[in-house]
Amino acid sequence: MIENKTILITGGTGSFGQKCAEILLNNHAPKKTIIYSRDELKQFEMRQRFSKEKYPAIRFFIGDVRDKERLYRAFQGVDYVIHAAALKQISSCEYNPTEAIKTNILGAQNIINVAADAGVKKVVALSTDKAVNPINIYGATKLCSDKLFIAANAFTAHNICRFSVVRYGNVLGSRGSVLGIFFKHKPSGVLPITDKRMTRFWISLEQGVNFVLKAFERMYGGEIFVPKLPSMNILDFAKAVAPECKIKITGIRPGEKIHELMISKEYSRQTVEYNDYYMIKPDTDYWHYRLNEKSCKLVHEEFEYNSKNNDWWLSIDEMREIIKTYKNINPK
């Protein structure tokens, strides 16, 4: 589905966008891969890595998802959109809630309207575990964004544009990830941990990108796709990164959860299970006939997908082997 197609990535200079561009350009043959972001410095740095001589299919487009007119220009001739742009820093969003709303909610609305008008075929929006039972403004705005993308399939039913959502949690190696923080503090001999009970799902950037690209094949429109992922306790993770370091408990930060939650009990009646992922079905009449029930099964009514009660856990040795591939991570 990707071959000879034009794909635009909003927030394309972020960790996900750069890995996505790398996989698209090295493993597939897109007609064009457009990096859409507002940071000219990051685009300049990305151009050094993805030169036009080596990667003739790449394009760079400066713009903000808040700017609807600019999106109209960028979306001309685009087949697929991956919406990764967002304000994500929890503390920044708490202090600047109106800015989070403008980017994460109004920006999502702009993506939907412009994609429908411009004839984009499919849009996959990136969500987060924090959108499930949110306790901070970032999670609240992402929940609203998810709802917008799912509902958009109803009012675009007359045309070809379809919208779906991919949701996953903690990404190893992304900017601001705990792995980078631990690498930064490792030389001091002390690793900061907010709470020793904390558990997290773990996914690599490459796994996240491939799951998103696979969603373009799987989607009809309106689904939320959630990959099956392993869990790990944060203390075990610290031992995998730096077993020689002492642990300093700093206390839970505002808006932080002890455990990651990807699917709440309230959505169990809409959730089906496949071999390697879950799918939350949209609660709309137009969609139900599309589901191939032979390839999946309904989860039980009390089902909840969280990192504490997960049945797949990584050992310290397993995580240590994974971490070996992240030695050059930027801790910033």
Mention every residue, 6+ apart, whose C-beta is less than 8 A from residue 165. 124, 125, 126, 127, 146, 149, 150, 223, 224, 225
Specify the pLDDT at position 154: 87
- The CATH number of domain 6-169+202-229+262-307 is 3.40.50.280: no
- Bridge partners (DSSP) of residue 247 are 191
Poorest-confidence range of 23-27, 37-41, 136-140, 170-174?
A: 170-174
The DSSP bridge pattern shows strands 122-126 and 80-83 to be parallel
Is residue 233 a contact partner of residue 198, using CB atoms and an 8 Å limit? Answer: yes
Number of other CB atoms surrounding residue 201 within 10 Å: 25
Q: Which residues are catalytic?
A: 130
pLDDT at 116: 95
Write down the pTM of the prediction. Answer: 0.93
Average pLDDT, the chain: 92
In the block, tokens 């997290």 appear at: 200
Mean pLDDT along residues 49-67: 95
Confidence at residue 110, expressed as pLDDT on a 0 to 100 scale? 98
| 275-304 pLDDT per residue, tens | 999 999 998 766 555 666 678 899 999 999
Q: What is the largest CA-CA distance in the chain?
A: 60
Say which DSSP state 278 is in: E
Q: Is 119 exposed, middle or buried (0-12, 13-18, 19+ CB in 10 A)?
A: middle
Query: Taking residues 145-152, what's their average pLDDT?
Result: 96
The Cα 257–Cα 151 span in angstroms is 28
What is the percentage of the chain residues whose pLDDT exceeds 70?
95
pLDDT band at 330 (very low <50, low <70, confident <90, very high): very low
Distance between CA 221 and CA 154 in Å, rounded? 9
Non-local CB neighbours of 325 within 8 Å, separated by 6+ positions: none
- Among residues 312, 193, 211, 201, the alpha carbon closest in space to that of 263 is found at 201
Q: Which residue shows structure tokens 């993770």?
A: 237
Domains of the chain: which residue ranges? 6-169+202-229+262-307
DSSP3 helix / strand / coil % (the chain, rounded to 5): 40, 20, 40
pLDDT at 188 over 70: yes
Query: Angle at CA 239, nearest 5°, toward 175 and 260?
Result: 55
By C-alpha distance, which of 97, 85, 74, 94 is closest to 126?
A: 85
Q: Give the per-residue pLDDT at 1.
A: 82
CA distance 175 to 211: 19
Whole-Å CA distances, 215 to 55, 227, 247, 288, 317: 25, 11, 39, 18, 31
